Amino acid sequence: MTTTNTNANSIREAADYIRSKTDIVPEIGLILGSGLGILANLIEDAVSIPYEDIPHFPVSTVEGHEGELLLGTIQGRPVVMMKGRFHMYEGYGPEVTAFPVRVMKNLGVSGLLVTNAAGGVNTSFKPGDLMLLTDHLNLTGKSPLIGPNDASLGVRFPDMSEAYSRRLRAAASEAASEHDFTFREGVYAGLLGPSYETPAEIRMLRALGADAVGMSTVSETIVARHAGIEVLGISCITNMAAGILDQPLSHEEVMETAEMVKEKFLSLVLSIIPKM
């Protein structure tokens, strides 16, 4: 387990370090899921800061994830991008996985785009589909907000009735229509992992109203909402969830599908950012 400190002082120290490296004051935060780090290529005049250089930042351990923070502009909008994110299955507490979101808030971010790779639970989905998150099920059994509440970071009992911003979803749909593309929409179930689910668990998730399943995003979204940040969530359906097809799941399949859709994803994000 990490000893990373997530209090207001740590947040300020991390943000102060980042401010010492760039004049960019980001309005939009981007957190990229497995295989989607290609979005980093969109940033103009990017300043790259390795996670290991940032005070109190955890360091990513999983294959296929990188560890750097990028600041620059996309379509003229100042952004901060996490290339590589932190997962609870790496042994981090939920407040650690979401620490960078608090740092983003301190830097000036008011809108967050979170992307992830996810298994399709809704049987009408296909690998390669992109799903706007309308809501989530936090099935990690944990919250990043456990412990004393620092009122300077947000309220004790934050509202989650619009975890994923209706306004940003409408903006994303409008951007997609300019590309003759239609997003799927649905509920993301966030689990701990790292094993993929059993077929029985997938049947359970479907009964609970999940359309997609993954191992990230929920703690970051909870902290973003606590901080008053608007969230747009997009899942790349990289595979059908366990038991739907008569074949085992693998990280390779997840990475291959993410690779296949990355160009589409890239062009969509380019159109979405100016509308955020």
87 is catalytic: yes
Could you tell me which of 111, 116, 87, 117 has the C-alpha nearest to residue 99? 87
251 is catalytic: yes
- On the 0-12 / 13-18 / 19+ scale of CB atoms within 10 A, 89 is middle
Q: What are phi and psi of 103, to 5 degrees?
A: -65, -40
Could you tell me which of 276, 144, 120, 264 has the C-alpha nearest to residue 197? 120
The partner residues of 81 in beta bridges, in order of sequence, read: 30, 70
239 is catalytic: yes
Binding status of residue 93 toward ligand HPA by CB under 6 A: no
Amino acid at 33: G
* Size of the residue set binding ligand HPA (CB under 6 A): 13
173 is catalytic: no
Residue with tokens 């209090």: 7
Please select the residue that binds ligand HPA; options are 138, 140, 239, 271, rule is CB under 6 A.
239
Which residues from 178-207 bind ligand HPA, rule CB under 6 A? 196-197
Binding status of residue 219 toward ligand HPA by CB under 6 A: no
CB atoms within 10 A of CB 49: 19
Binding status of residue 231 toward ligand HPA by CB under 6 A: no
Please select the residue that binds ligand HPA; options are 118, 145, 210, 261, rule is CB under 6 A.
118
Binding status of residue 213 toward ligand HPA by CB under 6 A: yes
Binding status of residue 133 toward ligand HPA by CB under 6 A: no
Please select the residue that binds ligand HPA; options are 78, 119, 186, 190, rule is CB under 6 A.
119
**Pairing mode, if any, of strands 184-190 and 77-83?**
unpaired
Q: What does the binding site for ligand HPA look like in residue numbers (CB under 6 A)?
A: 117-119, 196-197, 213-215, 238-239, 241, 249, 254
